Amino acid sequence: MFGSDEQKSSSIYGRSYTIHSTSTDFPVKPYPYSSIQRSGSVKKISNSPLDSIKGKVRSLCSIFESQKGPKPSSDDSQFQTKLKSEKSFSSSDSNLSVPSSPYDSSPIRLPGTEDRVVIYFTSLRGIRRTYEDCYAVRMILKFFRVSIDERDISMDSAYRKELLGVLGEKQNVSLPQVFIKGKYVGGADVIKQLHETGQLAKLLKGLPVRATGPWQVCDECGDVRFVPCANCSGSRKVFDEDEDQLKRCPDCNENGLIRCPTCCS
């Protein structure tokens, strides 16, 4: 009796205590896969959802490992070097696609403007792209602080007729159009490209520089470049005492405006 108790306590403290049921009322059912062979159990487990997920993970890993690829061989390194050289060559020749300015070979001249820059533009915002191009070119030219003759065709229709007469075109004349030292240069795209390449500064070299800053606004016209006519007060009509009737004012344009004598003289 004592021996059995000692054996029981030792088995408990040694954690090898087991219970063997000898009852016939509750028979122990065998594990359902105990009778299956190893190969069959492997096939059964391989069709489980867990293994399908593992297979997908392995396939993804194999895809990423294949993307890393082996170390480049000597042929691959030569190919990469050749590709880099071709890229550098293409980038160095990217300026070849830029249309050159017709300044040097242009036969178009604007007489009486050899000492300034003349820009034909519009201040109206009816066409957004045209207005943005005109504004951008004006800001670029003002940055150099040179003498600029700004001719707004929306304020004076005579400038439109003058531009069409100089270019020799009856229609499809885009704005802005720039003349430097009396020679025709081009529109917005040409001016922007010349400015980016540094050639615009060379073309403007030698022109008189303005004493005021590029962003200073005229106190008289507010940078509009036009003021009401002093002769007719903007009405476009004056009274002729000799003929005793009203006549068209000869000093102003169709809008009753004249060029600002302060900033456009």
The span from the CA of 143 to the CA of 187, in Å, is: 17
Three-state SS sequence of 13-59: HCCCCCCCCCCCCCCCCCCCCCCCCHHHHHHHHHCCHHHHHHHHHHH
The span from the CA of 99 to the CA of 2, in Å, is: 112
Per-residue pLDDT, 85:
43
Per-residue pLDDT, 98:
35
The span from the CA of 213 to the CA of 54, in Å, is: 72
Superfamily of 117-204 according to CATH: Glutaredoxin (3.40.30.10)
pLDDT in tens, the chain (265 residues): 445 554 444 444 555 444 454 544 545 555 444 444 444 444 444 455 555 666 666 665 565 554 444 554 555 555 455 444 444 433 333 332 334 455 666 788 999 999 999 999 999 998 999 999 999 999 999 989 898 999 999 999 999 999 999 988 655 789 999 999 999 999 999 999 999 999 999 999 999 888 766 678 888 998 889 999 999 999 999 998 888 899 999 999 999 999 999 888 6
The span from the CA of 190 to the CA of 119, in Å, is: 13
Domain ranges of the chain: 117-204, 217-265
Per-residue pLDDT, 250:
94
Q: What is the pTM of this model?
A: 0.60
Per-residue pLDDT, 163:
93
Contact between residue 228 and residue 234 where contact means Cβ atoms under 8 Å apart: yes
Per-residue pLDDT, 1:
44
